Structure 1
């Protein structure tokens, strides 16, 4: 396709000069570089002055600074400052662009990432920072690999915009995929201690966003869904484990507090687990 030709690579063997993550509580000087730089806003919001044009930026935005492009950050909130990842590099060459250029025809020099891309790119950024600070043998090769992934993700994001993919359908697909992953995680780990923050960390998404998409797809919160999984499993165990105590069954489905477990069970089924087990026995012996 035409977009694939436009974004094809003549050379993609990046040399990384620096990798950094900063909380932008102060404004830097108006400056440029003699190499390209990519900046990713990981959280917060603010503004950027790019070639004398002031642009609003927020979490999920990617900024492209070609060699010679003057820029500096503008702090707009000390309570919610930008946390920014940036990387300087060279030794790239995309088709129909100058060597060592990331001028993809985007103006202003900002791309707003969709949720699925934000998840992938943020993970690459944090992995690159960890590797940069690790001091491990061969870290240069790992950083080069991460930089290649970052560039490919950026190109894919730009390509999807050029191709005008139907955003609403695309985001719905990715919401559904994310929710299926959450459901699988809950189903496979219900006996463990699980929090919304833990789910968010595993998915590289915010707890607020996870709660929103999960409610939209299933009609309930992730924690309520987890409770139902645990209680359904508890019912199965109460039906088949005559010799086991309520306390041991509660513990097996993720509840250390048997009183809390019994309270939830009665709330959902209208009967305590003890009486539920007793009724099952009576029916079996009848």
Structure 2
């Protein structure tokens, strides 16, 4: 497997060091090109194909957010990783909203980079198997089933699409597309359905259970939001549902 990488970093020593680390840690990764600012990176993205982009955030001319927005707005099948310093952590939080898979703190830690490259390698292995439709279907189906089982076993935990994607080595958008293709709904919708199904079971076991006790028992921190979601899925409020059960 040949994974093409673009590094966007305005400091030459960091750029060279990261290139060397990436290719030494995992030979499947090849730093195909580099850029020193957002404008230069976008030009390279227009004319070449990459699988992964490592981008700094604060750069001259155009910053890393321009690169991330370009990737999102053009629906490029690229895994973005941001490079940031401790003093720029707020930028990292903002970048997570742009479907960034993860971030690396500078100076880059070898162990963190190794784990991240393994994660990316696993994700792209599935994508590359698209050339063999049967094996791709088998691989993606198996992983989506793993995710289903994970959600079923952890319905009380505070799971977000971002945390789920990171756990299984995907970007949130890519995971959502794969999951919806396999299951027919997004991971968030599936988790809500599981939680409401469990809530109905608990109400049948204990018809007198209060909504404020029921909500956290199935993973909702806000009883009002639980009631709203319950009605959206079942067509009835929790109170009306319990009354209907008595008939």
| Global fold match (TM > 0.5) | yes
User: C-alpha distance in 1, partners of 2:21/2:232?
Assistant: 59
Q: 2:51 aligns with which of 59, 69, 78?
A: 59
Question: TM-score of the superposition, structure 1-length normalised?
Answer: 0.49
Larger Rg computed on CA atoms: 1
How far off is 1:275 after superposition? 1.6
**What does 1:237-256 align with in structure 2 at a 5 Å threshold?**
237-256=202-221
Q: Flag the structure with more relative contact order, 1 or 2, with Cα contacts below 8 A and sequence separation at least 6.
A: 1
Contact 1:262–1:273 (CA<8 Å) still a contact in 2? yes
Larger helix proportion of the pair: 2
Aligned to 1:24: 8
**What does 1:109-120 align with in structure 2 at a 5 Å threshold?**
none
**What does 1:33-52 align with in structure 2 at a 5 Å threshold?**
38=23, 47=33
How far off is 1:210 after superposition? 0.3
User: C-alpha distance in 1, partners of 2:167/2:22?
Assistant: 29
**Could you say if the C-alpha distance between residues 201 and 210 of structure 1 is closer, same or farther in structure 2, counting changes exceeding 3 Å?**
same
Aligned to 2:148: 183
Misfit runs of 4+, over 6 Å: 39-43
Aligned to 1:93: none
How far off is 1:23 after superposition? 5.0
How far off is 1:270 after superposition? 1.6
How far off is 1:170 after superposition? 2.1
Aligned to 2:182: 217
| Unmatched segments (≥5 aa) in structure 2 | 1-5, 35-43, 54-61, 69-79, 84-100
Aligned to 2:72: none
1:194 aligns with 2:159: yes
How far off is 1:37 after superposition? 8.0
How far off is 1:225 after superposition? 0.5
Question: TM-score of the superposition, structure 2-length normalised?
Answer: 0.55
Q: 1:203 aligns with which of 150, 155, 168?
A: 168
**What does 1:53-132 align with in structure 2 at a 5 Å threshold?**
56=48, 58-60=50-52, 79-80=66-67, 130=109, 132=111
- 3-state SS in 1 of match to 2:170: coil
- 3-state SS in 2 of match to 1:254: coil
How far off is 1:189 after superposition? 0.8
Q: What do the CA deviations read for 1:214-263 (whole angstroms, capped 9, x no partner)? A: 11111111100011000000000111113321211111001121111111
Contact 2:130–2:136 (CA<8 Å) still a contact in 1? no
